[in-house]
Chains A and B, each alone.
Chain A
Amino acid sequence: MQTSNRVRGISVENPLLQINHLSTSFRIGDQYYRAVDDVSLSVNKNEVLGIVGESGSGKSALAYSIMRLHNRAKIEGEILFRGKDIMTLKNSEMNKLRGNDMAMIFQDPLTALNPLMPVGNQIGETLLLHQPNISKHERKERVLELLHLVGIPRPNYVYEQFPHELSGGMRQRIVIAIAIANKPELLIADEPTTALDVTIQAQILDLIRELKEDMHSGVILITHDLGVVAEMADRVAVMYAGEIVEIADVVSLFENPLHPYTRSLLNSVPAEGQDRLHVIQGIVPALQYLPREGCRFRERIPWIDPSAHEEHPELHEVEPGHFVRCTCFKQFYFPDKREEAGIYGNS
């Protein structure tokens, strides 16, 4: 255990969440395919871990695995929450944890809410499940407090409203209110602002940051938006095709990105003084057709000498706390010099 922690670059003795060799497989036809492949990471208290990747990289599948919300998936590995393996918990025990000690903010607030129930009752339901002793009156007080906390104007009025009567930003705030109702120690936010406008996105991110500071929770923030990660995360894990390809603290990752995928992603975002954006060749292969041997990013960078890749790519610690998979990063370059600009222009 000691050595494995060392390898994953975990400095704190007792992380809030420690995931060891987690794999999540889905059945397609009569075979299982790994959507999350041997992922190990940790989240500390008072820390935001950003997970970045494009659609199909397995980042949401990972989040659902941690919450054990998958119905039919095969999950292997260890998920230690406060040092206890939650993989072995019974469903009833898991229900006690979910929504109480660990909670999730879902991506699409319209499907996450019950359309037939006033939003006030939906928030109250979480309280009722985990704190059955408080009175009805107290519960309503708490809900109104939560509505106020997530920045909803006129909480008394909104309490009685149904999800369809609220705007997207308001609905997302309700989802957040439900997630934080019991002051969870671990908060998993799966693309919490993707469906929202920029000004509302800024408000919601502010809110998550404040909550983290108030409750000292650990936060896993899943997103495809590099700007959001740069603003929010303390550490960042980059996922590609089910694997973590790079993990580092946020400043190292943005100033010294190493893995070809990370560098390509950063170069495909519009930046100052960049006329052309970098395009990653090819497409993310479907789950069944993922290359399982060797470097998974190989096919997207065909101009790199095949011998640059490792046979069995591992995470290497390049600097303290900065891990990168495969050795191909040492020889990687962009074929088109104009795309070299990077996110900070030519500086």
Chain B
Amino acid sequence: MAILEVTNLKVYFPIKAGIFNRTVDYVRAVDGVSFVLEEGKTYGLVGESGSGKTTTGRAIIGLEKVTEGKIVFQGKDITKKRARTRELNRNMQMIFQDPYSSLNPKKRVLDIVAEPLRNYEHLSKKQEKMRVQELLELVGLSPESILKYPHEFSGGQRQRIGIARAIALKPKLIIADEPVSALDVSVQAQVLNFMKDIQKELGLTYLFISHDLGIVKHMCDEIAIMYKGRHVEQGTKEDIFERPQHIYTKRLVAAIPEINPRHREKQFQFRKEVEKEYDAAYDDYFNKDGLAYQLQKISDTHLVALPEKG
């Protein structure tokens, strides 16, 4: 069942100039994006910096004003702010990229994790403390740490506090915006393992936003590749990594470092060929403004942005 449906989402930011501060143009951060999230799955949103992947996530959770399009969550249209009922908001949470700036340094862990609980559930002090301790245990932190402050934790631990806060209300959908980019590899592994575990336990759906294709491959069932505010390719993990159709996707996949040093010469050659193809075929894949075309279906799961003629 689809938990979230995004149809033709557009988020434009006005560029203002002149003495009257009139809007002269728009930055088309998200420019007509459609996708569907199935319940219990992980959907990866991949793109380079400036491709609009974070803005998409922020628009879905309501941190950015939607210019055009439609967002349907659990069968209800939540495009307009007014339509976001408390109940719906509660089912959608976000994990932020930077564990150093997303936790209030003046608050104790107890207050950070309990904040969503205080908004939605009327618990006694004692119950609240117990819930927070349970949550901390779930994310692998000792229950005694409730009285500590964020600076007393390492990066990985902080990110887990952020996760504890996000899952406190047992949401249905979690938007994870580059949840491990700021972390060391071994800590990364810890957070990713943990996200997989709680997904099974709580039946969560993830919108996983990342620029790291290796991690996306590890985590996601379905993937969308984003470029300049549009999707250039959508498909299952196999579609994207084994049968990439769009030249931009091919280039991204080719740029992943080869972990086997014996194959590196081959990888350099391959990368050079793809780069050549990219330069030669750029006009076939992008319109005159350098934007991707409309998505065309090439199989049941696989969509590629190609010009009309196909």
Q: When chains A and B are docked, how far (Å) is the Cα of A283 from the Cα of B267? A: 35
User: With A198-B256, A227-B258, A228-B257 in contact, is A270–B267 under 8 Å at CB?
Assistant: no
A340: interface (CB < 8 Å): no
Our pick among A201, A251, A269, A344 for the contact of B185 (Cβ within 8 Å) is A269
B interface: dominant SS: helix
Number of residues of chain A lying within 8 A (CB) of chain B: 37
By a CB distance below 8 angstroms, the chain A residues around B294 are: none
State which residues 273-294 of A face B: CB under 8 Å: 274, 276-280, 283
Q: When chains A and B are docked, how far (Å) is the Cα of A202 from the Cα of B271? A: 9
Q: Assess the B257–A224 pair: CB atoms within 8 A.
A: no
When C-beta atoms are compared, the residue in chain A nearest to B190 turns out to be A279
State which residues 228-279 of B face A: CB under 8 Å: 251-252, 254-262, 264, 267-268, 271
Our pick among A227, A265, A344 for the contact of B186 (Cβ within 8 Å) is A265
By a CB distance below 8 angstroms, the chain B residues around A304 are: none
By a CB distance below 8 angstroms, the chain A residues around B213 are: 198
By a CB distance below 8 angstroms, the chain A residues around B212 are: 198
Q: From residue A263, how far is it (CB to closest CB) to chain B in Å? A: 12
Q: 1/0 contact trace for A187-221 toward B, CB 8 Å?
A: 00000000001111110001000000000000000
Our pick among A55, A199, A251 for the contact of B262 (Cβ within 8 Å) is A251
Q: Assess the B211–A198 pair: CB atoms within 8 A.
A: yes
By a CB distance below 8 angstroms, the chain B residues around A200 are: 48
Q: Assess the A197–B257 pair: CB atoms within 8 A.
A: no
- Scoring A55, A228, A278, A283 by chain B CB atoms within 10 A of each residue's CB, the highest score goes to A283
By a CB distance below 8 angstroms, the chain A residues around B252 are: 198-199
By a CB distance below 8 angstroms, the chain B residues around A268 are: 185-186, 188-189
Q: Assess the B193–A276 pair: CB atoms within 8 A.
A: yes
User: With A198-B252, A201-B255, A202-B271 in contact, is A230–B186 under 8 Å at CB?
Assistant: no
When C-beta atoms are compared, the residue in chain A nearest to B194 turns out to be A279
By a CB distance below 8 angstroms, the chain A residues around B215 are: 270
Our pick among B49, B156, B254, B259 for the contact of A168 (Cβ within 8 Å) is B49
User: With A197-B48, A228-B257, A251-B262 in contact, is A54–B185 under 8 Å at CB?
Assistant: yes
> Interface on B for A, CB 8 Å cutoff?
48-49, 154, 156, 184-186, 188-190, 192-193, 196, 211-215, 217-218, 251-252, 254-262, 264, 267-268, 271
> Interface on A for B, CB 8 Å cutoff?
54-55, 168, 197-202, 206, 224-228, 230-231, 233, 250-251, 254-255, 264-265, 268-271, 274, 276-280, 283, 343-344
The 8 listed contacts between A and B (C-beta, < 8 Å) are A197-B49, A198-B211, A198-B212, A201-B257, A231-B267, A251-B262, A269-B189, A279-B186
